[in-house]
Amino acid sequence: MGRTVPTLTRQLNETEAALQGFRRALRRSDQLLLDALLASARPHLAAITASEMLLPFEAALLAMLLEQSRRVMLLEQEVQHLQQEIALLRRNHEG
Amino acid sequence: MKVECLGWLMDVYLRPDGTPMLWLIDQTGKRWLLRMHLPVTFYVTGGRADLRQAWRYLSSRSVSCERQDRKDLFRGQCPVMAVTLPDPASAQAVYHDLRRNFPLLDYYDADLPLGVRLAGHTGVHLLGQCRFTTDGEQILMLSPLDSPWDLDPSAPSLRILEVELPDDPHLSPPAWLDLRFQTFRYRLSLEPLRAFGANLRALLSRFDPDVILTDYGDTWLFPFLQKVFPEFNLNRDPGMAVAVRPARTLFAYGQVLYRGEQAFLFGRWHIDRRNAALFGEIGLEGAMELARVTQLGVQETARKSPGAGITAMQMLTALQEGVLIPAVKQQAESPRTLSDLIRADRGGMIYQPLVGVYRHVAEIDFASMYPSIMVQANISPETLAHPDAPPGLIPRTLTPLLRKRLALKQRLQTLDPRDERIAGLKARQSALKWLLVVCFGYLGYKNARFGKVESHEKVTALSRELLLQAKELAEEQGFTVLHMYVDSLFVHREGGLCREDVAPLLEAIQARTSIGVTLEGIYRWLVFLPSRQDGRTPVPNRYFGVFEDGTLKVRGLALRRHDTCAFAASVQGEILRILAQAEDPRERVADARVLVQRELQRLSRGQIPPAVLKVAVKLSRAPESFRKPGPAAQAARLLAERGVAVRAGMRLHFWFTRQGVSVDMPAPSMVDVDRYARLVQRAAEEILQPLESPPPVPFQPRLLFVPLPVHPLAPIPEGQ
C-alpha cells in the first residue's frame, strides 16, 4: 500500500527548502536563529500531524511559538530567581 | 484390503496428472502417500448474456453447471453459476479457459490453495490428527480428530536430516558435505562424484527422512545434485520431480528483496535455512504451527511472508461459512475529498521522544493492538458502514488466532525457565505473532481479496485515539510521557517508580480502552538519542536502556543493523554491558572508553580474526546501474567475474582490504585497519557521545549564546 498523502516530515522539509531564499538573505547570526526556530518544531511532529491542517506549516509555526513561550517562561523564572538572590545579597550587604 | 488408521496429515499436493496426493504418518510411524478424490466447485456471476454464453460454452465441453444462490460478502445472497469438476487440476484448467474467453465475468472460489480446499471439504487441517481409511492407494474416508486451535496438538515424531556446507558455495565450491541424523554424523567428500552419489543415496534410503534441513540447499545443493545426477530423485513420492521456483527480486515493505531459487520436495519437506524468511526466528516448530493454522504447506510457511497465510485463513473462514471468495479483489477505494484524505491517510501515532538520559522509566505496551482493535471494533471491509453488524469476516478469522497466542503467552509465563517445552512454545507464539502483525497491513493491501483501504485507515485512526487516551490517563496520574510509539508508551516520574506505581495506570488504560495492556518492564535507565544528522532533532526509534533485571533493549544502533560487521557490533554490545552494570550509565563512560581503546589496539596489532570483520551489504539495485563504484558495487563486480549471478536485493559479503574490497577472507595483514577503526569508533560514539553531552533539546541553550555580530556605527566625521 502506498501513501497518497506525503508524510509531515517531508512536507516540512519541502517548506524549509522553499524558505532557502529567505534564509540566504539573512545575516549568518540570524540564519542560526532561524535554523534553531525551525528545529524547535520537530519535537512536536506528532501534534502537528494530529492537527489535521491542510497547511501543516501553520501548526508548525504554533509549535515554534510554543517553544519560544517555554523559553520565555524559563527565562522569567530564572530572572525571578536571580532577582530574589540579588535582593537577598543586598539585604545581607545592607544589614 | 481396507485399513483404518489414526495419523497426521503432513502435506497435500497435486501430481502432474492432476491427482491430489496426501502424505500421512500413522500412529505406528508408517508413512503413507495416498491419492484422494477431491471434487472442486467454483462460481461465476456477471451479465446475463455473458453468463448464458459461458453456460453454453461449458455444456459443449461436457462440464456440469448448476444455478445456485450463494452469499457474497458485500451484496448478500446472489444467483451464481456453479461449475463442478472432479479434481482441482481440471477445475484450474477450466477456470483459466473460461476467464480467457469471458474476461468480463466475476469468478469465485477458483484459485484456492489445495490445503484450504481440503480443510474446507473434509475439516482435516495440515498437521492435524485424523482418522483415515484406505485400500493402500486411495483415501476412502478422512475425518478430523482435532482442531488447529488446540493448544497442545499431538504431532508425529519426524526424521530430520541436516545437511551443512563448510562455507558459502557461491564463493568457493565445497569439498565435502556434513550430514547429521539423530546421533549419526557423516562427512561426504564430493570427490569422486560417483562415490558421493552412491553414499548420499544410501543414507537417504537408510534414514528415509521426513525433513531435509540444508544450508544453501535451494540455491546451490539441489541445483548441483540435479546437474550431476539428473536421474536422482530426492522425493519420497517417485511420481514427482523436485519442483524448482526461479529466483526473483521484489520490492516489498519499502525494500528491495531477493529471493533465491527454491527447491520443493513431495512426500518430505526441504527447508533451506539460508533462504527462508522467518525460519531463523520461528524454526521448524513455528513453521509447522503456521501450516497448522493457515493450511499452507510447511515448505511454503518456512519461506513465504506471513501475509499469504492470513489470506489463506480468510479464505478458509469464507469457505466454511459458504461466503464467495473473489478470484481478484473487487472492492475499490471510495471517492472522497482532499481534506478527508488528509485526515484519513495516516499511520500510527509516533511521538518524538524527549532526548536524554532517564532513570526509572516504565514501558507500557498494548497487547496485539491492531488485531485487538479489529476484533473489538468489528473492523472488516463489509462492516465499515454498519458498525453494529454481527462480527465480520476479518474479526471472525482473527479471534481464535488472538486467543491462541494469548493462551500460549500465558502458558509461557507459568512455566519454569528450565522447562524444555519453552523453546517450542516460544517459536509457536512467535509464528502466530507474525500472522497478527501482517493481518492489519493486509486490510489495505492492493491485492487482498477481502481488503479495503478504509478499514485499514480506521484501525490506525482508532490506534491513535487509544494512545492519546493512554497519554491523558498517564498525565492525570502524574507521569511524564517521554515517548509514544504506535502501540507503546514510555512514562517516567521524578523520584523513581516501581511496578506497583504503574499498576493503577495499567488498570485505568485497560478500563478506558478495553484493550489489554502489559508492562513491558521498568528500565533502570533509558537513553533516547537524537538524530545523527541533526543533534537537535529527536528521532522516534533510536534508544537503548536496561531493565531492572539487567536485560538490555536496543533500537536503531549499529549492532541492530545487518550491515555492521560482527566486530563493531560486539564492541557496541560490550559497551552496553559495561553501562548496564551502573545505576546511571554516565558513571561508566570512562570504563567503556578504556574498552574501546583496548579493542582498537587489538585491531591495529592484527589480533582480530578477519572472520568477524566481514561486512554484509544488501544491493539496492542491479549492479550495472551503480554510477559510483562503492564497496558494494565493487564486491558485485568481483562476484560477477567469478560467474555468480548478482541481482538487486542480494546480500553481499565482503571485507575492506588495503587494495579496496575482497570477497574472500583476507589475511590479517591485508585488512584495512583504518577503515575498521573508523567503523568501531563511530559505533562507540553513537552510544558514548550523547552520554557525555548535556541534553540538546528542547531548549537549545547553545544557540542562545551565539554572539550577535557587532556593527559599530562609523564615527561621525567632524564638522558635520
Interval B355-411: pLDDT, tens: 999 999 999 999 899 999 999 999 998 888 787 889 999 999 999 999 999 999 999
Instruction: Establish if B390 belongs to a structural domain.
Output: no
B56: which residues sit within 8 A by CB, 6+ positions away?
Answer: none
Residue A11 to residues A42, A58, B33, B108, B369, Cα–Cα distance (Å): 12, 12, 60, 43, 29
B537/A71 Cβ within 8 A: no
Are B363 and B262 within one domain? no
What residues in chain B have their Cβ under 8 A from chain A's Cβ atoms?
338-339, 341-343, 345-346, 349-352, 354, 441, 444-446, 453, 456, 464, 468, 484, 534, 536-538, 697-700, 703, 706-709
B350/A46 Cβ within 8 A: yes
**pLDDT value for A3:** 62
User: Of B556, B585, B617, which closes a domain?
Assistant: B556
Residue B419 CA to residue B409 CA, distance in Å, equals 15
Say which of A3, A40, A50 has its CB closest to residue B698: A40
What residues in chain A have their Cβ under 8 A from chain B's Cβ atoms?
1, 3-5, 27-29, 32-33, 36, 39-40, 42-46, 49-50, 52, 54, 67, 70-71, 74
Are B176 and B250 within one domain? yes
**Residue B651 pairs with which residues in a beta bridge?**
B618
What DSSP letter does each residue of B91-121 carry, written as one string? HHHHHHHHHHH-TTSEEES-S--HHHHHHHH
Q: Which residues of B176-201 are buried (b: 16+ CB within 10 A; e: fewer)?
A: ebebebeeeeeeeebeeeeebbeebe
Say which of A46, A49, A67 has its CB closest to residue B698: A67
B707/A52 Cβ within 8 A: no
Instruction: Establish if B420 belongs to a structural domain.
Output: no
Q: Positive or negative, the Cα torsion across B11, B15, B18, B21? A: negative
C-alpha triplet B124, B130, B131: angle, nearest 5°: 125
Query: How large a percentage of chain B has pLDDT more than 90?
Result: 67
Say which of A27, A49, A74 has its CB closest to residue B346: A49
Chain A contact probe: residue of B537, B702, B704, B710 with most A CBs at under 10 A: B537
Instruction: Establish if B523 belongs to a structural domain.
Output: yes
What are the φ and ψ backbone dihedral angles of B656, each rounded to 5 degrees? -85, 125
B708/A29 Cβ within 8 A: yes
Residue B50 CA to residue B104 CA, distance in Å, equals 8
The count of C-alpha atoms lying within 13 angstroms of the C-alpha of A58, restricted to the half-sphere facing its C-beta, is 6
Q: In chain A, which residues have their Cβ closer than 8 Å to the Cβ of B251?
A: none
B446/A33 Cβ within 8 A: no
A4/B349 Cβ within 8 A: no
Per the CB < 8 A criterion, the answer to whether B203 and B179 are in contact is yes
A32/B706 Cβ within 8 A: yes
Are B244 and B361 within one domain? no
Does position B59 have pLDDT exceeding 60, yes or no? yes
Q: In chain B, which residues have their Cβ closer than 8 Å to the Cβ of A74?
A: 699
Kindly report the nearest CA distance between residue B340 and chain A, in angstroms. Answer: 9
User: Of B556, B587, B616, which closes a domain?
Assistant: B556
Does position A12 have pLDDT exceeding 60, yes or no? yes
Eight-class DSSP state of B218: I
A61's grid cell = 509555526
Say which of A1, A4, A32 has its CB closest to residue B445: A1
Per-residue pLDDT tens over the stretch B104-134: 999 999 989 999 999 999 999 999 999 999 9
A42/B538 Cβ within 8 A: yes
Residue A83 CA to residue B595 CA, distance in Å, equals 48
Number of domains in chain B: 2
A39/B538 Cβ within 8 A: no
Instruction: Establish if B93 belongs to a structural domain.
Output: no
Strands B651-657 and B552-555 turn out to be unpaired
Does position B710 have pLDDT exceeding 60, yes or no? no
Instruction: Establish if B194 belongs to a structural domain.
Output: yes
- The amino acid present at B431, given as its one-letter code, is A
Coil, strand or helix at B606: coil
**pLDDT value for B483:** 95
Q: Where are the beta strands (DSSP E) in B147-254?
A: 160-164, 176-181, 184-189, 211-214, 243-245, 248-252
**Residue B590 pairs with which residues in a beta bridge?**
none
Residue B155 CA to residue B534 CA, distance in Å, equals 55
Instruction: Establish if B570 belongs to a structural domain.
Output: no
Segment A51-80 mean pLDDT: 93
Q: In chain B, which residues have their Cβ closer than 8 Å to the Cβ of A28?
A: 709
Instruction: Establish if B579 belongs to a structural domain.
Output: no
B515's grid cell = 484493550
Per the CB < 8 A criterion, the answer to whether B347 and B540 are in contact is no
Are B493 and B361 within one domain? yes
B342/A5 Cβ within 8 A: yes
The CATH number of residue B525's host domain is 3.90.1600.10
Query: How large a percentage of chain B has pLDDT more than 70?
Result: 96
Are B175 and B289 within one domain? yes
Per the CB < 8 A criterion, the answer to whether B441 and B460 are in contact is no
Say which of A39, A50, A71 has its CB closest to residue B537: A39
**pLDDT value for B438:** 86
Say which of A4, A29, A45 has its CB closest to residue B706: A29
Q: Which of B144-148, B533-537, B641-645, B714-718 has the highest mean pLDDT?
A: B144-148
Q: Which residue of A lies nearest to B441 if distances are taken between CA atoms?
A: A1
Say which of B354, B444, B703 has its CB closest to residue A36: B703
Per-residue pLDDT tens over the stretch B17-44: 889 999 999 999 999 999 999 999 999 9
A46/B484 Cβ within 8 A: yes
- Domain of B238? 160-305
Per the CB < 8 A criterion, the answer to whether B531 and B537 are in contact is yes
Which range among B156-160, B303-307, B669-673, B698-702 shows the weakest confidence by mean pLDDT? B698-702
Confidence grade of residue B171 (pLDDT, cut at 50, 70, 90):
confident
Q: In chain B, which residues have their Cβ closer than 8 Å to the Cβ of A5?
A: 341-342, 345-346
Kindly report the nearest CA distance between residue B326 and chain A, in angstroms. Answer: 20
Nearest 10 degrees: Cα torsion B701, B704, B705, B708? 160
Per the CB < 8 A criterion, the answer to whether B615 and B656 are in contact is yes
Q: Can you tell me which residue has the cell 476467464?
A: B99
Strands B31-35 and B20-26 turn out to be antiparallel
Q: Is B136 exposed, middle or buried (0-12, 13-18, 19+ CB in 10 A)?
A: exposed
Per-residue pLDDT tens over the stretch B255-285: 777 778 899 999 999 999 988 878 888 999 9
Eight-class DSSP state of A43: G
Per the CB < 8 A criterion, the answer to whether A45 and B352 are in contact is yes
Q: In chain A, which residues have their Cβ closer than 8 Å to the Cβ of B534?
A: 39
Are B263 and B360 within one domain? no
Instruction: Establish if B426 belongs to a structural domain.
Output: no
Rg of chain B over CA atoms, in angstroms? 30
B315: which residues sit within 8 A by CB, 6+ positions away?
Answer: B112, B113, B116, B325, B449
Coil, strand or helix at B564: coil
B345/A43 Cβ within 8 A: no
**pLDDT value for B694:** 64
Taking the alpha carbons at both ends of chain A, their separation in whole angstroms is 76
Are B252 and B357 within one domain? no
Per the CB < 8 A criterion, the answer to whether B598 and B680 are in contact is no
Kindly report the nearest CA distance between residue B337 and chain A, in angstroms. Answer: 12
User: Of B556, B585, B619, which closes a domain?
Assistant: B556
Say which of B441, B468, B697 has its CB closest to residue A43: B697
Say which of A1, A27, A36 has its CB closest to residue B456: A1
The CATH number of residue B275's host domain is 3.30.420.10
Residue B411 CA to residue B405 CA, distance in Å, equals 10
Per-residue pLDDT tens over the stretch B614-672: 999 988 888 777 777 788 888 988 888 888 888 888 888 999 999 899 998 999 999 99
What are the φ and ψ backbone dihedral angles of B638, each rounded to 5 degrees? -65, -40
The residue count of chain A comes to: 95
Complex-level ipTM: 0.75
Q: In chain B, which residues have their Cβ closer than 8 Å to the Cβ of A3?
A: 345
**pLDDT value for B150:** 95
Are B211 and B285 within one domain? yes
Are B357 and B257 within one domain? no
Residue B214 to residues B220, B262, B668, B699, Cα–Cα distance (Å): 10, 12, 31, 56
Q: Which residue of A lies nearest to B464 if distances are taken between CA atoms?
A: A50
- State the DSSP H helix or E strand holding residue B76, giving kind and residue range, or none if neither: strand B76-85
Q: Can you tell me which residue has the cell 583476507?
A: B666
Chain A contact probe: residue of B351, B440, B528, B702 with most A CBs at under 10 A: B351
Q: In chain A, which residues have their Cβ closer than 8 Å to the Cβ of B348?
A: none
Per the CB < 8 A criterion, the answer to whether B633 and B573 are in contact is no
Segment B213-221 mean pLDDT: 93
